Structure formats: structure tokens, C-alpha cells
Structure 1
């Protein structure tokens, strides 16, 4: 414990207090000797980083329990299934920096349940750099992270239905010989993206026109 405290740059009594509070896991014991490892050191540095960001020890303990209950990255990513998304590795402190003040046990549990986040040892993995950046931008614009996550769940329901539609249409009308053993119909992704980009753009046009028509003449546009 003395060596661990020295490596972490904190008093031994603080390490003992964290151990008693369950913030770090028990050491490996060999007789009367207790061995701590890099995992314990990483946890102490995470605690220090989150304390600097305004989290309380109780909140950190809740985050740790939620984090440890999450699925690992292999399960979330489907053991190497096809994807165009780029996963991002984050420390808990980096995640807190992306969503300042919004990384709560409830939001973390929702993100883990959605599969946006997964665990890999002491690191957190976000499954999509694009989703991470968009989510962080929405939070910076004032949208609560809980709302971002609940909206993401609703979007996923529609996206799953659209994926089923595109795959079934292309599979039904693609040449079986040309498709061969390909894991997905040819041109599936670019065609699906092109259709959805255009349809979403036109849907936004229609929505904004309706909103403009309903607004009183003296009320300025947002």
C-alpha cells in the first residue's frame, strides 16, 4: 500500500480510506503480503482526475459500479462484425471532459445499455467517433445528455426499421450470382445513405416551412 500511495502521489491514509469505501478493489494476497497492481494505480488516478472535475467520492463510487456492470467491447462490437464506425478509447476523465457535468450514473447506465459505450479493462470505448462528437456538440449547445440519449434510442428504432427495409429490398432484387458470398448486398451503404440524406433534408424543409407558416408575422425566425 505504501508503494501504491507513493506511485499515485497521495497519502497512505487516503489509499486506505478509498479501500474501505470500496473505491479500489482488494489487493492480491500472498500470505501476509498485499500486492497492488497497475489496475489499482489507474483507478487512483481516475479518482483524482474526477475529483478535480467536481465529482464527489459518492458519485465516483456510483460511476465505478455502473461502469463495472457494463458490457465489454467485444460484446458490443459483435466480435468484429462489419462496421464503418471508428471506435474511440477514452479514460473516465476524458469522458467527463466531453460531457462536463453530465456524466452521471444514470446517463452512464443509459449509454452502456444503448451500446454507445463499452468497457475494455480500465478504458471506456465509445463505438462511434461521429456519435461521440455529435453528442458532445449537442450538450455544448444546451441539450441535456439524458435527452440526447433518449433521442438516440428513438432514432435507433427508426434506423433499425430502415436498415431492414433497405436490406430486404436489395436482397430481393439483387442478382444472386453477382452477390456471391458477400456479407451484405452490393452498394447497400452508399445507396441507403444517399436516400436517407435526401429524405431527411426534404423532411426538415417541410417541417421548417410548416413552422414558418404557423408563426405570427411579427415573430422573428429562430
Structure 2
């Protein structure tokens, strides 16, 4: 089954859903992956949940609950969650006026958001590529953070992650090219692509786990510093 063609979901998004554990991998027969009707049903369900504003984490929990006997249809029968940004999750659009009002977004911030792929020009407004990030950014801005600083951090992280991705792919390409050049056949290229695709979810898990640990450690350090500052009456010295 050509799952992307039948479902209308891009191959890239199907792989993202698989990497996040939302969609089971295909049954492999020889060198070919075969998708079943169950995959199509699951994919349609994921699309419906995303349309209703649920995050990947929530969808994962719902699917896990469903595997243990809870009918996800009961959740779908309920009303979508309210709120202005929850509505944006369904509409997936925002105006320049809303950007300036909710995020204090300057022309530079809007331009950088487009560069990073968060916003895509759509008529007089913008299509929102990741509503969860938009919602999180609004919370930070309301807390006194500068949206430009957040976007600059994102820009820097994106460049760093490009290096991380290259390092994981090179685990295979460096050795494969050394051993196979100049006799790299079409079959060899296909095998190389399959190996790289196999590395993808593993690399994703490693980076996610390492970042989660580093973030937890940094949060604990920051809270500890704040506590010390409070206990010493604002004196940073022990």
C-alpha cells in the first residue's frame, strides 16, 4: 500500500509519526515495507487528533490508553478544547496584528520566524507551522521574555542540530563510502539509504534523551541559584 498517496499525508510526516512512536513501522518482506489497512486507520486517527489541537505527547497517551481498552472515539466525540490559541491550532493561521499583540513581534522577529519555518506567508496573514511553539512563546512573552531572544536561541540551536545530524549520518556514510567507492551501485545506494533511515529514530532518541537530562540539570541548577539568592537576602556570596 502506498500509504502517503492513499492517506494524503506526506512521506515526511509519516516518518515523523513513526519516529515518535505514533505509527507502527511497516511489515518488512525482503527489502520492501508493507503497510496494512490498520496503518491507514491509525494514520487517519492521528490526523483527526492533530486537527482537534492535540499534541504529539497527548496523542501518544491516547493511543496507549486505546491499546488498553479505552475507545479513543469517546475522546473525539467531545468538544475541542477552547481558547484563542487552541482555535489557532485548528485554523493554523494568525494575523500580523495578533503577532504584534500577543508576542510583541517586531518586523525582525516575524522575518526570523519565517526563516525558521515557524510562519509561512498566507495571504494577508501567516500559516502557523507549529502551534505548540506559538503557544509556548506567548507564555514566555507574558512572563517578560523577549521574543527576539527566543528566536535567536532557536536559530543557533537549529545550526547546532544540523551538525549533530551530520555526525550521526556520517557514522554510516564515512565507512560505507570508504569501503564501496568507486564501485557504488544503485543497489548499494539503496542499502545506504535504508541504513541511514534505520539510524534516524535511534539518533532522535539519543538527542531527545540527552537534551532532556541536560535541561533537567540546568533547571535544577537555576532553581538552586534562585533559592540561594533568596535565602541570603540577595547576597550572591556564601
TM-score tier by shorter-chain length is 0.3 to 0.5
TM superposition score normalised by structure 1: 0.47
Higher relative contact order (CA 8 A, sep 6+): 1
Q: Could you tell me the TM-score, scaled by structure 2's length?
A: 0.44
Higher helix share: 2
